[in-house]
Amino acid sequence: MNSHKTTHHTTGGEHQTTGGEHQTTGGDHQTTGSQCPVCNKWFKFPSWLEMHMRTHTGVKPFKCDICGRGFGRKDSWRNHKLVHMNKGDI
């Protein structure tokens, strides 16, 4: 997946988007979605905000059953399991 960053200038300020994020700076720009109460980033879907909040809380609900390492994202946990498969642990 390619990452991109776009800056749009509006009359009241500007906003930047990177992937699924939507961040506003200045002005009275309105957007739809969910805003992080910690860093004010905007997310298109509530589930993306929920996943993002783990960066602030440190919650890691996905645990490796081989080594016990925790992950905040399911895709990172799945990729980690490949390490054990390559080592022959599974």
Structure tokens at 39: 């860093």
22, 31 Cβ separation under 8 angstroms:
yes
For residue 32, the model assigns a pLDDT of: 79
Average pLDDT for 24-42:
74
- Token duo for residue 43: 């997310």
pTM as predicted:
0.57
Q: How many CB atoms lie within 10 A of CB 7?
A: 9
User: Chain-wide mean pLDDT for the chain?
Assistant: 76
Has residue 12 got a pLDDT over 70? Answer: no
Task: Check pLDDT > 90 for residue 44.
Answer: yes
Q: Could you read off the pLDDT of 58-89 as tens digits, one per residue?
A: 999 999 999 999 999 999 999 999 999 888 77
Domains delineated in the chain: 5-57 (no CATH), 60-90 (3.30.160)
Q: Residue 23: enclosing H or E segment and its boundaries?
A: strand 21-25
Read off φ and ψ for residue 83, nearest 5 degrees.
Answer: -60, -45
